[in-house]
Amino acid sequence: MRRRTVVSRIGTFHVFVLFASLVATLPDTAAAGMTPGGGTCPNDPPLAQVEAVPMYSDAKGSVVDADNLRLHEQQILPLRNFVTDAGSRADSDDRGERECALRMMRDWAKTGALAQPPADFNGLRELERFTISLNIIVLKLRADGLDIAPLLDWLGTLNHTVIQRFENRNQVDNLDVWSGVAAASYALLSGNEVARRHEDSVWKQGIAAIRPDGFVNSELRRGARALSYHVYDLSALLTLNAFRNALGEPISAQDRAALARLVNRVGSSLCEPSAMTAAAGGMAQEKVRPIVFAPIVAFAGNFADARMRSCGASDIPTTDPILGGDLNKTAAILANRHSGHAP
């Protein structure tokens, strides 16, 4: 009996060792980049610096150089792929996909991705756009209860580069307003006072640039793209307004009236562009791409205008990777934050 017990114990031990060795040979899903649901989590190589050639061949920024545009798109493709992958996962209903997005972001944060300041304004423009996207993706992850604290220092580096460089640029246009969106979205994540001051300054300057007739001088200079850039400016201001509301900064009656003038000017020009054409120096206006209207529709609130669809584009998407993915989800998070129902 005693011998049988010993043998039985030895047999059990060997079974345990065999089981342990089998477990050891199974793939580590985290190390292998697997999500709990069995899908793969991308492992995009981080970039140290944003580089981009200029797209336009004229000083007004109205004529696109086709060869440069192709090169430009190739240069930013790794960044676009990263935010598209991370944004779609942050928008997912699957917890594993959202954790994958967080892991992607943490991997880039650990390496200080994009932290080397751009060498020129073309790189800065793209850093601005992708920083907004990264901020919004992280905002979504936080809203879903994930720990985003390890990302804040990294995002702070990117956002402060954008803030400082645009402050030094000292020019009021749609790109300046988008720098305010970067600052406001980062302030919403971190409470950073430098970011708060920048977004507030940008807002005041952007609103002040709207003329009594609804035109914006800096965007009229874009020649054949004046209408497109008025739409860009409106998109930026409405997006910034949504973030400011979430930060507890309601729009004043005076600012509301100015923004309404721009909404009306854009809406009327989409339906009948002759006034925009004349104001832009007689240059026929190019058609505005549907994606440009996406933030207007998502963040319009009380400024919603049916002409954006009826005269602008009927196929306006609800997702833009450069703005962090699903815009309706972003708008809902901001609305909940404004009402005090979100972290």
Q: Which two tokens stand for residue 167?
A: 């402050």
In a domain, 12, yes or no: no
Mean pLDDT over 184-201 rounds to 98
Q: What is the pLDDT of residue 23?
A: 35
What whole-number distance in Å separates Cα of residue 16 and Cα of residue 93? 38
CB atoms inside a 10 Å sphere around CB 262: 25
Q: Which residues contact 71 (CB under 8 A, 6 or more apart)?
A: 53
- Checking if the pLDDT of 332 tops 70, the result is yes
- Average confidence score pLDDT of the chain: 89
Q: What is the pLDDT of residue 12?
A: 39
**pLDDT tens per residue across span 48-97:** 999 999 888 777 777 888 888 899 999 999 999 999 999 999 999 999 99
In a domain, 21, yes or no: no
Domain with 326, as residue range(s), is 46-339
The band of 177, judged by pLDDT with boundaries at 50, 70 and 90, is very high
What whole-number distance in Å separates Cα of residue 258 and Cα of residue 263? 9
What burial class does residue 60 get, using C-beta atoms within 10 Å of its C-beta: 0-12 exposed, 13-18 middle, 19+ buried? middle
In total, the chain counts a number of residues equal to 343
What's the CATH code of the domain at 203?
1.50.10.100
In a domain, 35, yes or no: no
| CA-to-CA dists, residue 285 to 217, 220, 234, 278, 281, angstroms | 16, 11, 17, 10, 11
In a domain, 63, yes or no: yes
In a domain, 68, yes or no: yes
The band of 5, judged by pLDDT with boundaries at 50, 70 and 90, is very low
- Checking if the pLDDT of 28 tops 50, the result is no
User: Residue 240 in contact with residue 180, Cβ under 8 Å?
Assistant: yes
The band of 231, judged by pLDDT with boundaries at 50, 70 and 90, is very high
Mean pLDDT over 21-43 rounds to 52
The band of 7, judged by pLDDT with boundaries at 50, 70 and 90, is very low
In a domain, 262, yes or no: yes
What whole-number distance in Å separates Cα of residue 46 and Cα of residue 38? 24
Alpha helices in the chain (DSSP H): 2-25, 66-90, 95-111, 121-143, 152-169, 174-190, 193-208, 217-220, 226-246, 253-271, 274-279, 294-299, 307, 327-339
Sign of the torsion formed by the C-alpha atoms of 301, 305, 306 and 309: negative
In a domain, 160, yes or no: yes
Q: What is the pLDDT of residue 57?
A: 79
Mean pLDDT over 120-137 rounds to 97
In a domain, 57, yes or no: yes
Number of domains in the chain: 1
**pLDDT tens per residue across span 261-311:** 999 999 999 999 999 999 999 999 999 999 999 999 999 999 999 999 999
